[in-house]
Structure 1
Amino acid sequence: MVKLDETLTMLKDLTDAKSIPGDEREAREVMKNYVSPFADEVTTDNLGSLIAKKSGDENGPKIMVAGHLDEVGFMVTRIDDKGFVYFQTVGGWWSQVMLAQRVTVVTKKGDVTGVIGSKPPHILPPEARKKPVEIKDMFIDIGASSKEEAEEFGVKPGDSVVPYFDFTVMQNEKLLLAKAWDNRIGCAIAVEVLKQLKDEKHPNVVYGVGTVQEEVGLRGARTSAHKIQPDIAFAVDTGIAGDTPGVTDKDARGKMGDGPQIILYDASAVSHKGLRDLVVETADEKEIPYQYDALPGGGTDTGTIHITANGVPALSITIATRYIHTHAAMIHRDDFENAVKLIVEVIKKLDTDKVKDVTFN
């Protein structure tokens, strides 16, 4: 078993936290514990997004680095007479990755283990076996024999249901497997950026942000950006890794280990050209690897941040990730570390004159 260093321990604590949209308290507390030593103050907005402020020059530009706290999960909607739990997805799920997977129901009485089930294929007609089971036909088995027993366990409608998976360092120790990389890796990047700036002079005020409810509409990004009113913003998130069998460069170009992805375009935003140019120039200057990507669908917190107030020059920087929106996703540690290094180097350049230059470039 690999001994976890300080960084891996943080990544484990962040990904193990159970926090679906609308119930991000656990991940927020973990992020707060890790970021507080490097921040001048830590606050939240009224929706629950965490905002850690680190001042270099109090009169300098405001720079926002935002990852989102929430992960895709489920919510209890009802319990039947036999004690089986029915649920609503919270965030995007593909039905084929859900069946027979272990989950945790988060109740006021404590965590309850369950497994997602459906009719067994052995009793289905041949044609039905060929089709994916629809989410509406799934349920969660928590081992209760009745509705009353399930309620005694503490389960009730509205409870969060979270995928279960143990943080794992792969045999190749650069590869890390966990639930909720989308997007605890963005939160980890925000923490590490403030950590690396702790004893550095920087000509601005940096905000490391853990936003809420990204997976259901980029909601916390809207409220936290409204509170901060940033001059420049980076949304840090997971991206698509196209380095698995059957995926071509036309499908997805990202490769784990090739550096952070600079997102040119997605369904929520066109990246700001001036900021993009500065990031690429900095990466080339500091010999930090990077790769481009463009996504016709999906989006990140950039989508709402960039249209806050009079507009915010914003860019998404993502980590190529395999198997997002499942119980077990995979990233490359080098991509995480290079993303932190790149953002820190860019922030050091963002004084008032550079921000004006970027904004109107």
Structure 2
Amino acid sequence: MEDFVALLKTLSEARGPSGFEDEVREIVIKEMEPYVDEVLVDRWGNVIGVKRGASEVRAMVAAHMDEIGLVVDHVEKEGFLRFRPIGGWNEVTLLGQRVWVRTQDGRWVRGVVGVTPPHVTPSGHEREAPEMKDLYIDVGARSREEAEKMGISVGSVAVLERELAVLNGRVATGKAFDDRVGLAVMLYTLRQLGDLPVTLYAVATVQEEVGLRGAQIAADRIAPHYAVALDTTIAADVPGVGERLHVTKLGAGPAIKVIDGGRGGLFIAHPGLRDHIVKIAREAGIPHQLEVLYGGTTDAMAIAFRREGVPAAAISIPTRYVHSPVELVDLSDALNASRLLKQVLEKTTPAAVEKFLERRVK
């Protein structure tokens, strides 16, 4: 477990908002190179590791590198930075947080999201949730000119500053587990793989949080015969939430997606591939749960509807407090997700692909 935690720590603490995944990309390339035959980086920055197998059948595994972030849209004359969201935020989670702000020459400087002290909050407004437009970042600059000398201007991006911590020896918490935990599962699995019956394309994608952009480009290039996305899913097994709305539970194993959906519509995992993964999990004795999530989706949706269509599914890591500074995962769920992915890649032969693709109208 220690080597997985070390990998997750390196990935989660790296800074990589959508469109600016450079720091994460360098880690991924370094981690991939010893375990694949070739590493490619496409025009938009997706990292593609190719591990050649015994056939020309192509399997694609995708996990995204980007995290939600902020972009400066105005620098006030006093030096405070106003910003807009990159990806889906709940404004409440930003109050009083420390952040990293990227300068125009690629350096990162610290800042904080300011919060009004209770002493000067107007009576009756103490419990009001702020709107994004009313928040600001304080980098210690005394003027717009000083902020600009620091390298900060309109277009500078920011992410949360947070170190990974392990709770009770088995649960990890930190920022950007969505989807650095999926990325860690993919990279950790590469370390365990031997010979494969198909050729594997392990893809670390860009810009998932703003529309599944990188996965679309990579899938068009690879034209996979089947694909599996690795991502987080909601674990709302917390006080105040009814059991039906938990979606998944921490510690009950990785989730095999049945359906999910967001503003772009519903994604239904390919039934043949989904059942194939469930069967493998059962036969291998890997704890797992089925996932029905109404709200949010993964790279699987983008991959599924490229070219002639790609059978796609997702293995999800249950995560509490998604899109916050304190995302939380049970490490056993992540390690079991790696075990399951390894089994799927090793047992999905060309004949198996043909079998789960058989869909007859009766």
TM-score for the superposition, normalised by structure 1: 0.95
Letter in 2 for 1:225: A
Aligned partner (choices 186, 209, 219) of residue 225 of structure 1: 219
Distance 1:182 1:127, change over 3 A: same
1:6 equivalent in structure 2:
3
Measured against aligned partners, the alpha-carbon deviations of 1:160-204 in whole angstroms (never above 9, x if no partner) come to 20100011122x11111111100011111111222211xx22210
Identity %: 39
Shift in Å, 1:121? 4.2
Alignment of 1:203-214 (within 5 A): 203-214=197-208
Question: What SS does the corresponding residue of 2:16 show, helix, strand or coil?
Answer: coil
2:304 equivalent in structure 1:
306
Measured against aligned partners, the alpha-carbon deviations of 1:32-52 in whole angstroms (never above 9, x if no partner) come to 111111010111221111111
1:87 equivalent in structure 2:
83
Q: Does 1:110 align with 2:111?
A: no
1:51 equivalent in structure 2:
48
1:253 and 1:109 map into 2 onto residues whose CA distance is 39
Aligned partner (choices 341, 344, 347) of residue 346 of structure 1: 344
Measured against aligned partners, the alpha-carbon deviations of 1:267-302 in whole angstroms (never above 9, x if no partner) come to 141011001111111111000000111111110111
- Report the more deviating stretch, 9-18 or 107-116: 107-116
- Report the more deviating stretch, 246-255 or 122-131: 122-131
1:168 and 1:80 map into 2 onto residues whose CA distance is 35
Unaligned runs of 5+ in 1: none
Q: Does 1:136 align with 2:133?
A: yes
1:73 equivalent in structure 2:
69
Q: Tell whether the 8 Å contact from 2:4 to 2:188 is kept in structure 1 after alignment.
A: no
Q: Does 1:216 align with 2:216?
A: no
Measured against aligned partners, the alpha-carbon deviations of 1:180-238 in whole angstroms (never above 9, x if no partner) come to 100011111111222211xx222101111111000000000100111111111011000
Unaligned runs of 5+ in 2: none
Q: Tell whether the 8 Å contact from 1:60 to 1:203 is kept in structure 2 after alignment.
A: no
Aligned partner (choices 126, 151, 156) of residue 154 of structure 1: 151
Letter in 2 for 1:254: T
Alignment of 1:90-101 (within 5 A): 90-101=86-97
Backbone CA RMSD of aligned residues: 1.4
Question: What SS does the corresponding residue of 2:49 show, helix, strand or coil?
Answer: strand
Q: Tell whether the 8 Å contact from 2:12 to 2:180 is kept in structure 1 after alignment.
A: yes
1:349 and 1:226 map into 2 onto residues whose CA distance is 25
Give the number of aligned pairs. Answer: 354
Aligned partner (choices 172, 175, 180) of residue 176 of structure 1: 172
Letter in 2 for 1:315: A
1:33 and 1:128 map into 2 onto residues whose CA distance is 50
Aligned partner (choices 259, 262, 271) of residue 256 of structure 2: 262
Q: Tell whether the 8 Å contact from 1:232 to 1:312 is kept in structure 2 after alignment.
A: yes
Shift in Å, 1:129? 2.6
1:192 and 1:207 map into 2 onto residues whose CA distance is 15
Shift in Å, 1:350? 1.6
2:25 equivalent in structure 1:
28
Shift in Å, 1:360? 2.1
